[in-house]
């Protein structure tokens, strides 16, 4: 009887441990103007507070290499991760990980750009090599830019470069062109004889910054979605405006991203931040989002990013409030407005 009782106790403790573990979640982020709020939210205890409201534990982790952060999310090491709309499609979704855009945070409105050294026209890229994070939004931006001047990728050479190395690489003699994002972009532009020849303000609303969550995890744990969205909009409220609270919040974000308040404000100026759920919902629910994701899917298919077996750009279904692009039987990326709508309605 003694051993039976011990066995039952061990089982119950094991079961209790498993149940408790399911209430612990991890999200990751990398340095970018639109994702620095997660650093602030973690440091200020805002994320912790919202987690406690729903009796869950949320760990916020910084990953220095952007693509690596998405790879770790896709491998199941994190429950949610910051990434762009294109990378959400081409990495987790293309890898079979059903993912949901939980927070539509902003779109790049000049924060991504192409820079040439010693030349001041995008046409001058012909015959050159350009360093970028291959198959990322920087690559997409380059392709969209080349279309405007009658060039294509066949007219130049793409050199895959980690974002962690971009500034150092640009400082070398042999590198004459890069396509990258802030804060790297502003640092590179400040170097002698550097010229920004194309940026995301010329394709507004196409490079969207998201918090993406595993769809199955969200379905099983809707309170996680509520906590993350609730925390996000509290953080947005802290940094919106120009009062002392907002200045303190943005100064923290600036320091954490390696710049100062003026530098961070400059990045915000070229970012269409959605400080309210209403603003985020306007894009999420729009027909424009369907068109944008169709363009992204076509670029991705052209570059083999949808998988070896993808027969066309619509191989992976992308579900949006205004319509689904692609195969409705193979939906792997979803834009889910209901949690942001709860925030808008004050129901979190």
pLDDT in tens, 220-268: 999 999 999 999 999 999 999 889 999 999 999 999 999 999 999 999 9
191 pLDDT higher than 60:
yes
303 pLDDT higher than 60:
yes
Q: What is residue 260's predicted lDDT score, i.e. its pLDDT?
A: 95
285 pLDDT higher than 80:
yes
Asked if 24-109+206-344 and 112-202 have one fold, the answer is yes
Q: For residue 161, what are the contacts with CB-CB under 8 A and spacing of at least 6?
A: 131, 132, 133, 134, 169, 178
Across 207-225, average pLDDT: 98
Q: What is residue 11's predicted lDDT score, i.e. its pLDDT?
A: 39
Mean pLDDT in the chain?
92
Across 50-67, average pLDDT: 96
pLDDT in tens, 60-118: 999 999 889 999 999 999 999 999 999 999 999 999 999 999 999 999 999 999 999 99
Q: What is residue 56's predicted lDDT score, i.e. its pLDDT?
A: 97
10 pLDDT higher than 50:
no
Across 178-183, average pLDDT: 92
Indicate the pLDDT class of residue 297, thresholds 50, 70 and 90. Answer: very high
Q: Return the CATH number of 112-202, one of 2.160.10.10, 1.20.1050.10, 3.30.70.260, 3.40.190.10.
A: 3.40.190.10
Share of the chain above pLDDT 90, in %: 88
Q: What is residue 307's predicted lDDT score, i.e. its pLDDT?
A: 87
20 pLDDT higher than 80:
no
Q: What is residue 2's predicted lDDT score, i.e. its pLDDT?
A: 34
Structure pTM? 0.85
d(CA 148, CA 238): 39
Bridge partner list, 213: 80, 100
Q: What is residue 59's predicted lDDT score, i.e. its pLDDT?
A: 98
Q: What is residue 132's predicted lDDT score, i.e. its pLDDT?
A: 97
Across 312-338, average pLDDT: 98
280 pLDDT higher than 80:
yes
| Domains in the chain: boundaries | 24-109+206-344, 112-202
Q: What is the dihedral of CA 316, 320, 325, 329, to 10 degrees?
A: 50
Please name the CATH architecture into which domain 24-109+206-344 falls: 3-Layer(aba) Sandwich (3.40)
Q: How far, in Å, are 95, 102, 158 from residue 139 at the CA level?
A: 19, 25, 9
Indicate the pLDDT class of residue 18, thresholds 50, 70 and 90. Answer: very low
Bridge partner list, 60: 27
> Cβ distance 184 to 64 under 8 Å?
no
Q: What is residue 53's predicted lDDT score, i.e. its pLDDT?
A: 97
Across 191-215, average pLDDT: 96
The reply to whether omega before 264 is within 30° of 0 (cis) is no
Indicate the pLDDT class of residue 13, thresholds 50, 70 and 90. Answer: very low
pLDDT greater at residue 328 or residue 18: 328
Q: What is residue 241's predicted lDDT score, i.e. its pLDDT?
A: 86
26 pLDDT higher than 50:
yes
The DSSP-derived string for 287-311 is HHHHHHHHHHHHHHHHTTTT-TT--
């Amino acid at each position: 009887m003694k051993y039976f009782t011990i066995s039952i106790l061990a089982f119950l403790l094991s079961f209790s441990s498993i149940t408790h573990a399911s209430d612990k979640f991890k999200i990751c982020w990398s340095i970018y103007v639109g994702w620095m709020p997660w650093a602030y939210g973690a440091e200020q205890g805002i994320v912790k507070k919202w987690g406690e409201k729903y009796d869950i534990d949320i760990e916020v982790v910084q990953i220095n290499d952007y693509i690596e952060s998405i790879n770790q999310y896709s491998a199941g090491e994190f429950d949610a991760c910051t990434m762009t709309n294109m990378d959400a499609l081409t990495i987790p979704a293309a890898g079979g990980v059903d993912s949901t855009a939980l927070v539509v945070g902003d779109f790049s409105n000049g924060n991504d750009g192409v820079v040439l050294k010693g030349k001041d026209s995008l046409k001058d890229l012909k015959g050159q090599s350009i360093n970028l994070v291959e198959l990322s939004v920087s690559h997409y931006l380059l392709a969209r830019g080349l279309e405007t001047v009658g060039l294509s990728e066949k007219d130049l050479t793409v050199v895959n470069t980690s974002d962690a190395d971009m500034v150092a690489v640009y400082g070398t003699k042999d590198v004459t062109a890069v396509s990258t994002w802030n804060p790297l972009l502003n640092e590179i532009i400040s170097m002698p004889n550097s010229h920004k020849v194309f940026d995301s303000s010329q394709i507004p609303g196409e490079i969207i910054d998201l918090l993406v969550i595993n769809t199955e995890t969200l379905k099983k744990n809707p309170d996680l979605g509520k906590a993350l969205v609730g925390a996000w909009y509290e953080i947005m409220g802290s940094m919106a405006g120009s009062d002392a609270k907002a200045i303190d919040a943005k100064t923290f974000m600036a320091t954490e991203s390696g710049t100062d308040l003026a530098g961070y404000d400059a990045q915000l100026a070229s970012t269409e931040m959605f400080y309210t759920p209403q603003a985020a919902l306007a894009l999420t629910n729009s027909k424009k989002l369907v068109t944008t994701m169709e363009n992204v899917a076509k670029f991705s298919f052209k570059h083999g990013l949808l998988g070896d077996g993808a027969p066309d750009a619509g191989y992976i279904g992308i579900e949006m409030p205004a319509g689904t692009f692609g195969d409705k039987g193979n939906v792997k990326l979803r834009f889910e407005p209901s949690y942001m709508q709860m925030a808008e309605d004050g129901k979190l």
